[in-house]
Amino acid sequence: MKRKLVSLLLVLSLAALTLIGCGSNSGDKADTGDAKKIVIRLAHPMAPGNNVTVGYEKFKEIVEQKSNGRVEIKIFGNATLGSDRVTLESTQKGTVEMASCSSPNMASFSREFMVLDLPYITEPKNQQKLYDAFDNGELGKYLDNVAGKVGLKPIMYSEYGYRNFVTTKKPIANVADLKGLKVRTTDSPVEVGVAKALGMNPAPVAWGETYTALQQGTVDAEGNTFGLLWDAKHAEVLKYAIDSGHNYSMHLLYMNKKYFDGLPKDIQDIIVQSGREALTWQRSISNDLEAKAKQHFIDSGIKIHELTAEEKEVFKTLTRPIWDQYKADIPQELMDLVQATQK
């Protein structure tokens, strides 16, 4: 009888320790004495110093300041918890509280997000109009609703930028030079379609594996912002670039909707307001960071061909049919909302 009692007590003790251990995990409320601290994990794939990365660091700073330490944001960047698609799936499931995903990879969660990938659907000169539509207009409300349907609460529509083609070996100065290149893409059907339309051979590769793929020759080209390519040290293996600006991307920061809804109302307000403030700051510094990264490319010996208006028009003409390919996936109402920002 004593032996059974001892065994029972041992089992109960282990169970108690397990519960204590679970209660101290990030994302739960940690006991700080008089109050409970809310610890929230934020996962993203972007490199240190990148415009998206510093935006989330600013978000952390503002949240913790506004909450007087009641909330702690733990950032896991540089794909330490996995690619953006993987970590956003974890956020959907509730095993990670927050994650950031590039707009191309958002197509895996809802095909409607492909609207942002369509080649040349937006132009840099109209960025402020696009921001206004996301922050205060119907476009933001529309995509907020789309995200809610897949269990996500939007916090920041972070500026990422315009993607440009770069190569490890072959000089590129026009569309013809891209033909036959094996280019890394995301899983976005639109991004894959653009590569094919330009005569390239698309190879979807997770971001965290792209540097090695370039280094080993698995792929010999990719399309991304100069800022991220520089921050992620891809310039070490790149030799040529072209300012194609063929695809605009945002990095979208989401929280598990059920988790957000379960937070105290004042904490919800702090998170939303902090996201807005951090976003304003992040967008304000993005252009400068991109320009500096481009200059770093040039200074490191990478040759960048600047497209003329006529040369860029060839890119637009060849990729325009992609819009028609996805009419069934992208509602006309959503297309109209995005195109309205370009007028």
pLDDT tens, position by position, 180-192: 999 999 888 999 9
In this structure, what are the phi and psi dihedrals at residue 66, rounded to the nearest 5 degrees?
Answer: -65, -30
Helix (H, G, I), strand (E, B), or coil: what is residue 216?
Answer: helix
In a domain, 80, yes or no: yes
* Structural domain harbouring 332: 30-340
pLDDT digits (tens, 9 = 90+) for 37-55: 999 999 999 999 999 999 9
In 3-state terms the chain splits into helix, strand, coil percentages (rounded to 5) of 50, 20, 25
**Any alpha helices (H) in 217-340, and if so which ranges?**
226-231, 257-261, 265-299, 309-319, 321-325, 332-340
pLDDT > 90 in the chain, percent:
87
3-state secondary structure of 245: strand
* Domain annotation covers residue 116: yes
| pTM reported for the whole predicted model | 0.87
In a domain, 121, yes or no: yes
- The pLDDT of residue 12: 37
Q: Is the pLDDT score of 241 beyond 60?
A: yes
281 lies in a domain?
Answer: yes
Q: Is there a domain that residue 12 lies in?
A: no
Q: CA-to-CA distance for 320 and 312, rounded, in angstroms?
A: 12
Tokens of 75: 């950032």
Q: What is the mean pLDDT of the chain?
A: 91
pLDDT of 30 strictly over 90: no
How is 303-327 classified by DSSP, letter by letter? EEEPPPHHHHHHHHHHHTHHHHHTT
Helix axes 332-340, 138-149, angle to 10 degrees: 140
Q: Strand 182-185 and strand 201-204: pairing?
A: parallel
pLDDT of 35: 64
* Residue 339, helix vs strand vs coil: helix
Give me the pLDDT at residue 198, please: 97
Distance CA 27, CA 259 (A): 9
pLDDT in tens, 54-106: 999 999 999 999 999 999 999 999 999 999 999 999 999 999 999 999 999 99
**Phi, then psi, of 330 in degrees rounded to 5:** -115, 110
pLDDT for res 27:
56
CATH of the domain at 81: 3.40.190.170
C-beta neighbour count of 277 within 10 angstroms? 16
Tell me: pLDDT of 18 over 70: no
Q: Is 50 exceeded by the pLDDT of residue 301?
A: yes
Residue 283 CA to residue 267 CA, distance in Å, equals 24
In a domain, 10, yes or no: no
Section 297-305 average pLDDT: 97
Is the pLDDT reported for residue 9 higher than 90?
no
* C-alpha to C-alpha distance for 294 and 292, rounded to whole angstroms: 5
pLDDT per position as a tens digit, 207-227: 999 999 999 999 999 999 999
Q: What is residue 282's predicted lDDT score, i.e. its pLDDT?
A: 98
For 335, how many CA atoms within 13 A lie in the half-sphere containing its CB?
Answer: 12
Pull the structure tokens for residue 326: 């996805």
Two tokens, residue 341: 């920002």
Give the chain's count of helices (H) and strands (E): 14, 10
pLDDT at 3 over 80: no
The total of structural domains in the chain comes to 1
Residue at 13 is within a domain: no
pLDDT tier for residue 290 given thresholds of 50, 70 and 90: very high
Instruction: Please give the residue that has the higher pLDDT: either 8 or 115.
Output: 115
Considering the domain boundaries, does residue 18 fall inside one? no
**Token reading at 310:** 């006529």
Polymer length of the chain: 343
As a whole number of angstroms, the distance between CA 296 and CA 70 comes to 40
